[in-house]
Structure 1
Amino acid sequence: MDGINKDISTPGPCDDNQSAQTETSATSSRNTCTENPNKQSSVITLKPYAPVRSKGKFNGNGDCEIGPGIYEQSYDKYLTFSLEEPNCDIFNVYRCILKCCGREPKISPEGKGKLTVETTSAKESENLKSLSPLGGVKVECAVHAYWNHSKGMIFASQLMTYSEEKLVEELKDQGVIKIERMKKKVNGALVPLPNLIITFNSTRLPNIVKAAWLRFKVKQYIPRPRRCSHCQEFGHMLGSCRQKLQGKPAICVKCSEPEHGICNKHARCVHCGENHPSSSINCDVYIMEKEIQSLRVTE
């Protein structure tokens, strides 16, 4: 028994060699790490998950213009000034706006005694809102009625059973203020489509809309060119047609002649003169008007 205990407790020559090799290996490993601190280790270190976010661009005024993403509230970019004295000194008004902004903003006249000013930051917008009088003239400043909004479109077949009012109520925390469902006429009846036109209370159009756990990609909405059903010309609708107000007859959408009821004549476009109705989406003039609409919306 004493011999057995002695053999177990006392290391032999092989054990001494193994211990020496182990110590030498550990020492060389430490020396390697010390000599090459930049060498990658085979040990994996787990870190908490951090979602990747889009980087913003600073515009120099302290405001970060975020990239397209989920809705974020923006400032009132377009302001309307109503001058109580239409015959005021426009030079004094102009100098007052320049002094407040510290630069030359884009100013557009809108009707008699009204100006629209485009701002570039929330601070500039708030300064102009508190500016009264303007060049010695009493003014009334208000947020532009529709220029501070943006329109997008989504394809959502999963939301076909929900009304427009219900969707607005559920998505209002994402800046949604209006939803219109597109419709198509089939056999004389309007059939609802999965396409939704969404109006956001922001000039920045998000690229994602969340409905519960569903996510929908938002595309820029580009309206179709407006075409008058009276004169068939682009750029206005029936209610503002000058030819109708002047008592001129309506133009046939098929043959481009004065309206004569059911038309059995050959098709002739009033825009380009080709052999197709004036309502054709293949008309070169219609395609050009559509490109103009796209530039107006995107730029």
Structure 2
Amino acid sequence: MPPTGGINQFPHINGQRPKVTGKFVVIESAEADRSLVETSAFLIEKTVESYCGEVTSIKKNKKRQNFRSNKVAASAENLKKLEKLGELKVRVFEHKTLNTCRVVVPCWEAINDPEEEIATKLKSQGMIGVKRIMRKTNGKLEKTSLLELTIDSPNAPTTIKIAYINVPTRPYYPRPRRCFKCLKYGHIAAGCPSEQLCWRCGEKSHDEGKCDRPEKCINCRSEQHASTSNKCPVWQNETATIKIQVDNKITFEEARKMANANRATNYADTLKKALNKTFKRN
């Protein structure tokens, strides 16, 4: 559905407007003892379309309790009025993360401008967040020309107008979320009940700052690198999953399934090529 604000507020840049594909909306059971699994799929489709027109996609989450509909033809605000599916009470709300996007832009001309001022100037283009990307040199943080911009839309424009400059954008791929206590992926240290582990050897109960033990990765069990190394295949898989998630505008769980399927396909192709070479030599 056309977003109410956000991307519709973008000015014309080089005669083009970013593509509008709509909002991501969640429909959830409002009854603790019942879920949408019990409701007819045909009834769901018919009811949702009566509120917002044609729906191109409705997906269930892995718990089989929530449905997400996106790219609908009418206003998200209209769909939020839905209160019942048949006899089941439901609540409807916009997805917490899929309705915004983040991009990175380089702009040396704005390197000395405060982030708050840049955010104010870009507000009319749907900007809701600006963060300066820093780098560490000789132990000190230094400014870079790169800005991380959060946009109130699922779809990123190809350029952003900063003052008089049309700046090209590229997707922002966040680093994999890793706990600094147990060194595993998918959560942060604040809520981790595990003991502190050494990033170098993966063991506990010693001063990790003075660790001289051989490196060992807690995630892949390799003795060729530490747990913080980007050589770790688990880190590489997490990074690939995040890229799929951002590029396809899907949840992390959906991206994980796609990444696993891609790895299985690549492994099968590699094995097939290796076997073909072996048979040809023989």
Q: Secondary structure at the match of 2:74?
A: helix
Q: Secondary structure at the match of 2:167?
A: strand
1:97 corresponds, among 19, 41, 44, to 44
Partner of 1:267: 215
Identity %: 27
Q: Secondary structure at the match of 1:292?
A: helix
Instruction: Report deviation, 1:228.
Output: 1.2
Between 1:129-138 and 1:212-221, the stretch displaced more is 129-138
Q: Secondary structure at the match of 1:123?
A: coil
**2:19 & 2:83 partners in 1: Cα distance?**
26
Partner of 1:161: 112
Normalised by the size of structure 1, how large is the TM-score?
A: 0.66
1:178 corresponds, among 116, 129, 136, to 129
Instruction: Report deviation, 1:71.
Output: 5.5
> Is there any run of 5+ residues in structure 1 with no aligned partner, and where?
1-67
> Is there any run of 5+ residues in structure 2 with no aligned partner, and where?
1-12, 249-282
Between 1:140-149 and 1:116-125, the stretch displaced more is 116-125
**1:185 & 1:108 partners in 2: Cα distance?**
43
**Contact map agreement 1:150 1:200 (CA 8 A) in 2:** yes
**1:252 counterpart letter in structure 2:** C
Instruction: Report deviation, 1:287.
Output: 2.2
Partner of 1:130: 81
Partner of 2:24: 78
**Contact map agreement 1:72 1:174 (CA 8 A) in 2:** no
Instruction: Report deviation, 1:116.
Output: 4.3
**1:271 counterpart letter in structure 2:** N
Task: Count how many residue pairs are aligned between Structure 1 and Structure 2.
Answer: 226
Partner of 1:250: 196
2:145 corresponds, among 194, 204, 208, to 194
Partner of 2:59: 107
Instruction: Report deviation, 1:277.
Output: 2.0
**Contact map agreement 1:182 1:193 (CA 8 A) in 2:** yes
Map 1:213-232 → 2, pairs under 5 A:
213-232=164-183
C-alpha spacing 1:207/1:166, structure 2 compared with 1 (3 Å): same
Normalised by the size of structure 2, how large is the TM-score?
A: 0.69
**2:169 & 2:205 partners in 1: Cα distance?**
42
Map 1:5-24 → 2, pairs under 5 A:
none
Q: Deviations over 1:142-173 (max 9, x none)?
A: 22222111111111121111111111111111
Map 1:202-217 → 2, pairs under 5 A:
202-217=153-168
Question: Is 2:265 the counterpart of 1:285?
Answer: no
Q: Which has the larger radius of gyration?
A: 1
Partner of 1:234: 185
C-alpha spacing 1:232/1:287, structure 2 compared with 1 (3 Å): same
